[in-house]
Amino acid sequence: MAEIRYTTADPKGVLTGVHYMDGNHAACEGALAAGCRFAAGYPITPSTEVVERFAARIPTVGGVFIQMEDEIASSICLQGGAWAGLKAMTVTSGPGLSLMMEHISLAACLETPCVFVDVQRGGPSTGLPTLPGQADMQQVRWGAHGDYEIIAIAPSTVQECFDFIIDAFNLAEMFRVPVFFMMDECVGHMTEKLVIPKAEEIKVVERRFTTKPPEEYLPYKPDEDLVPEFPYVGKGYKFHVTGLTHDERGYPVINAEAQHEMCWRLVNKIKKNAPKIWKYEEDQVEGADVVVLSYGISARVSIKAIEMAREKGVKVGLMRLITVWPFPSPRVKEIASNVKAIVVPELNIRGQVAREVERVTAGTTNVVRVPHAGGTVHDPEVILEAIMEAAK
Amino acid sequence: MAKKKFRGLVFIKPERCKGCEYCVEFCPTGAITMSDKFNSKGYHYPEFSAPDKCTGCGLCGMYCPDFAIYGMREAVEEG
Amino acid sequence: MSADAKYENPVEEFLRTDRLPHVWCSGCGIGTTVNCFARAVKDCGIPLEEIAVVSGIGCTGRVAGYLKLDSVHTTHGRAIAFATGLKLAKPDMHVVVYSGDGDLSGIGGNHLIHAARRNLDITVILVNNLTYAMTGGQVTPTAPHESIATTTPYGVFEDNFNLPYLVAACGASYVARWTAYHVVQLKKAMVEALNKKGFSFIEILAPCPTIYLRRNKLGAATDELKYYKEHCVIQNGADPKDVGIDLLRPDKIIIGKFVDIDKPDYITAMNEHLSKKLGDKYVPWGV
């Protein structure tokens, strides 16, 4: 069985030192530190700086960047790079993510390890290219057709844009799944201190290449953790993989049995391994009357609101999601059973993550949405009001 | 002194054939004809009906879309 | 017949024989092109493990599933974009895109022209059966005037692509057109294309008897091949501008090798350029 192989970062890609840069640039540096050596992208505000920096850095690190003709091309070009054996990413925002949907489905079906960075902006349609939103959260999970599960991570600070994109690449390799790095325009364009450690302090997961010889290798025969080993291109494996429903050999099999096998495994691969994937941060949740559950830039604003509420004597905690998908349902259910209310501020109107909280808590607590159409971040006072109201 | 000659050989895999008749049409010497027999999918398949006419050019094999027939030239020693 | 290895079909080792018979119809020209391709792979001198095949969706898109090489069956129209990533990430691979006219020039048109413009070192084999056969015979950008398709039930009135002209104009290094009748020349062209450094493109006219020929009352597949035999004129070096096929039954179809030039492919140009700009700091790629 192919085990998860850890190694330390290749120093060529690690810009060790103390920096002052914005989230987009930090994400690029994190990708390089994680071992990303292939990127295909298309310009779209507010994400473009990630690939612009990559284009400038990669020639001296060793790798390739190509600006493709559109997002549809980028979203499959990076998979070509990934199948060739490289860690690969693409970068986009809302409208580009919408274009990428078919290839997200392909990545999930082929089980391509890769990272999609989405620096969210106001939508719908062309929307607010230069202003923040968090309205792609459901799209990233359900937007592509068919049954599959993906991983989505939301950083809140520039440091996290660096640290957590490394996690994103590691998870992509561990679970052979597309991982979505859900930034937003605010986090992407804010400038903060970034500390990049020495390469030997950065833990990186290697590609789960097969240890079997070509005659024994099957592209989609899963290991115990439901993840199949990855083939080598160019070493005589002569594998075939297809986006059609397929069996362990990788050959298309067009019937309900094969569909059942394949789709359940794609879903369970993430669901059953979710405990290894969940990452969240809690502050004073134990004993709280109200918990604010948020992610990305909205979580940072929430910290201010929570501070103000605590000054008024409210016992309020923060549950900050770092992995948004898979959703940490057991922990959220547990919190719900102990609190009066969960307040969910996010930069979208329809409660894209709030509705997941509502669903998993199933009426055991009061879920208070704090929606916002985007374009700027919440006023902390608005979140404070929601907390105060919920605490009554 | 031994004189070298060639003979044409044609091999047919009836189960792969779909009865398109490319081989019959493009055989330059008419060494192949369609048989009356059926394979299990219900297609008529060719037979190597006139081996003496075959030059071993291999065109039947180059045209076949189904990899059901192929030809080759084999050297035959003749005294 | 004898079970001797020397009596084996010369293309057998390049096929996934566990998946034969394949899905293509009786008389479908795609199989013939694959036959030529397998022979080209045998004779091209490139080790098998260095060849990868990427295909799109459609009847021709199924080719990737029958060739015993590293192969990926991708999404509709996007094989070239995938192949771009594969080639750039692993420059020592010979990447072949094998797909149909609708897939590569319809939905995939944008990727076709950009890959040609970039002179990306890949080989694109476009089987042109003038229809979207897999989905029942809708019109494609290559369908000629008056041809009947399910979405043009009264006949095509749009102009169609002159594919060699399009691809040559974008900057391809090698452009040829052959047909499923011209198996000897086609195989030779495929060997040349595989070994050519730069964007090589081969359009292959091939019959779709079940849909295109039947709907347009053009007879059987063998009739179509006979038509190619009688009406195709080999003009190597012809100006691609003049090789359009815009009538249902033209008197003359020009085929041959139209473009064969040498110019730096994408990765060579990238390495040259970045070395010049960055000197020793540049880490050359794929050399």
Q: Which residues of A touch C111 (CB under 8 A)?
A: 69, 73
Let me know: does A61 contact A31? Beta carbons within 8 Å.
Answer: no
Measured between beta carbons, the chain C residues lying within 8 angstroms of A85 are 89-90
pLDDT, mean over chain A:
97
Contacts of C110 in chain A (CB under 8 A): 69-70, 73
Secondary structure element (H or E) that encloses residue C98, with its range: strand C94-100
**C-contacting residues in A 60-89 (Cβ below 8 Å):** 60-64, 66, 68-70, 72-74, 76-86, 88
Angle at CA of residue B77, ends B74 and C3, nearest 5°:
40
Do the domain assignments include residue A217? no
Domain of B11, in residue numbers: 3-74
* pLDDT per residue as tens digits for the range C1-18: 445 667 889 899 999 999
Q: What is the pLDDT of residue B2?
A: 54
Q: Using the beta-carbon criterion (under 8 Å), do A38 and C90 form an inter-chain contact?
A: no
Pair type for strands A203-205 and A6-8: antiparallel
Of 3.40.50.970, 3.40.50.720, 3.40.50.1360, 3.40.630.30, the CATH number of C5-261 is: 3.40.50.970
In a domain, B44, yes or no: yes
Query: At A358, is the pLDDT very low, low, confident or very high (cuts 50, 70, 90)?
Result: very high
User: Is A72's CB within 8 Å of C281's CB?
Assistant: no
Instruction: Determine the average pLDDT of the residues in A213-239.
Output: 96
Q: Select from C19, C89, C111 the Cβ nearest to the Cβ of A73.
A: C111
CB contact under 8 A, C73 and A252: yes
Tokens of A258: 């094969």
- Of A183, A205, A227, which closes a domain? A205
Q: Give the distance from residue C21's alpha carbon to the nearest chain B alpha carbon, in angstroms.
A: 5
Indicate if the alpha-carbon torsion angle B75, B76, C1, C4 is positive or negative.
Answer: negative
**pLDDT confidence of residue A95:** 97
Answer whether residue C88 shows pLDDT above 70.
yes
Is residue A44 a contact partner of residue A188, using CB atoms and an 8 Å limit? no
- CA–CA min distance B7, chain C (Å): 13
Q: What is the helix (H) or strand (E) element at residue A65, kind and residue range?
A: strand A64-67
Q: What is the CATH number of the domain that holds A383?
A: 3.40.50.920
- Counting CB pairs under 8 A, whether chains B and C reach 3 or more, is yes
Domain contains A274: no
Contacts of A240 in chain C (CB under 8 A): 16, 64-65, 71-73
Q: Do A59 and C78 touch (CB under 8 A)?
A: no
What is the rounded CA–CA span in Å between residue A293 and residue A277?
18
In this complex, the residue of C19, C65, C82 whose CB is nearest that of residue A79 is C82
Q: Which of C49, C64, C71 is the closest to A234 by Cβ?
A: C49
Q: What is the pLDDT of residue C3?
A: 53
Please list the residues that pair with A193 across neighbouring strands: A20
Beta strands across the sheet bearing C253-260: A240-242, C70-73, C51-55, C94-100, C122-128, C200-205, C174-179, C253-260, C232-234
* Domain presence at residue B57: yes
CB A62 within 8 A of CB C283: yes
Pair C198, C269: CB distance under 8 Å: no
The dihedrals phi and psi of A69, each to the nearest 5 degrees, come to: -75, -15
What chain B residue is nearest to C34 in terms of C-alpha separation?
Answer: B65
Question: Where residue C189 falls among pLDDT bands split at 50, 70, 90?
Answer: very high
For residue B75, the model assigns a pLDDT of 86
Q: How far apart are CA A383 and CA A370, in angstroms?
A: 7
Q: What is the mean pLDDT of residues A170-175?
A: 98
Amino acid letter at A337?
S
Query: Cβ–Cβ contacts within 10 Å for residue C136, how many?
Result: 12
Give this prediction's pTM.
0.96
C273 shares contact with chain A (CB less than 8 Å):
no
* Token pair 């054996």 in the structure block, residue: A85
Angle at A252 between CA A247 and CA A256, to 5 degrees: 70
- Find the range with the poorest average confidence among A223-237, B2-16, C12-26, C131-145: B2-16
Distance CA C122, CA C84 (A): 8
Peptide linkage before A326 cis (omega within 30 of 0): yes
CB contact under 8 A, C93 and A73: no
Residue A267 counted as domain residue: no
Would the CA dihedral through C158, C163, C168, C171 be positive or negative? positive
Give pLDDT tens digits for A40-92. Answer: 999 999 999 999 999 999 999 999 999 999 999 999 999 999 999 999 999 99
- Write down the pLDDT at residue C170: 98
CATH of the domain at A27: 3.40.50.970
Q: pLDDT digits over C237-279, tens only?
A: 999 999 999 999 999 999 999 999 999 999 999 999 999 999 9
Give the model's pLDDT for residue C1. 46
Domain boundary among A144, A175, A205: A205
- Domain assignment present for residue A181? The answer is yes
**Local structure of A314: helix, strand or coil:** coil
Query: In this structure, which amino acid lies at residue C193?
Result: A
Question: CA of C18, closest CA in chain B: separation in Å?
Answer: 12
Contact C31 B70 (CB under 8 A): no
Give per-residue pLDDT as tens, B5-54. 888 999 999 999 999 999 999 999 999 999 999 999 999 999 999 999 99
Domain residues for the domain of A191 are: 6-205
Task: Report the distance separating Cα A392 and Cα A382, nearest Å.
Answer: 16
Partner A, chain C 75-114, Cβ-Cβ below 8 Å:
75, 78, 81-90, 92-93, 110-111, 114
CA–CA separation, A160 and C84 (whole Å) = 32
B3 pLDDT above the threshold of 80: no
Nearby residues of A330 by Cβ (< 8 Å), 6 or more positions away: none
Question: CB–CB of B18 and C26 under 8 A?
Answer: yes
CA nearest A100: which of A126, A118, A125?
Answer: A118
Cβ(A54)–Cβ(A48) below 8 Å: no
Chain C residues within an 8 Å CB radius of B62: 32, 35-36, 39, 183-184, 187
Helix (H) / strand (E) containing C53: strand C51-55
Q: How many beta-carbon pairs under 8 angstroms link A with C?
A: 142
Name the band, by pLDDT with cuts 50, 70 and 90, for residue B76: confident
Contacts of C49 in chain A (CB under 8 A): 234-238
Q: Does A255 touch chain C (CB under 8 A)?
A: no
We report the CATH number of the domain holding residue B69 as: 3.30.70.20
CB contact under 8 A, A73 and C110: yes
CA–CA min distance A243, chain C (Å): 6
**Number of domains into which chain B is organized:** 1
Which residue blocks in C196-280 are alpha helix, DSSP H?
214-215, 221-231, 266-278
Q: Where are the domains of chain C?
A: 5-261
Structural domain contains residue B79: no
Q: Is C114 left (phi over 0), alpha (psi -120 to 50) or beta?
A: alpha
Distance from CA of B13 to the nearest CA of C (A): 10
Contacts of A103 (CB under 8 A, 6+ apart): A72, A75, A76, A79, C75, C78
Residues 113-172 of A with CB under 8 A from C: none
pLDDT tens across A286-336, in order?
Answer: 999 999 999 999 999 999 999 999 999 999 999 999 999 999 999 999 999
Task: For residue A90, give both structure tokens.
Answer: 């693409």
Biggest alpha carbon distance in chain B?
Answer: 50
* B21 vs C contacts (CB less than 8 Å): 27, 220, 222
At which residue do the structure tokens 């002179």 appear?
C119
7-36 in chain A: CB under 8 A from chain C: 12
User: Which among A59, A80, A234 has CB closest to C278?
Assistant: A59
- Nearest CB to C85 within list A79, A102, A237: A79
pLDDT in tens, C135-149: 999 999 999 999 999
> Of B41, B43, B21, B42, which Cα lies nearest the Cα of B32?
B21
* Surface of A (300-319) touching C: CB under 8 A: none
Q: How far is C56 from chain A (nearest CA, A)?
A: 10
Strands A316-321, A280-283: parallel, antiparallel or unpaired by DSSP? antiparallel
Distance from CA of A276 to the nearest CA of C (A): 30
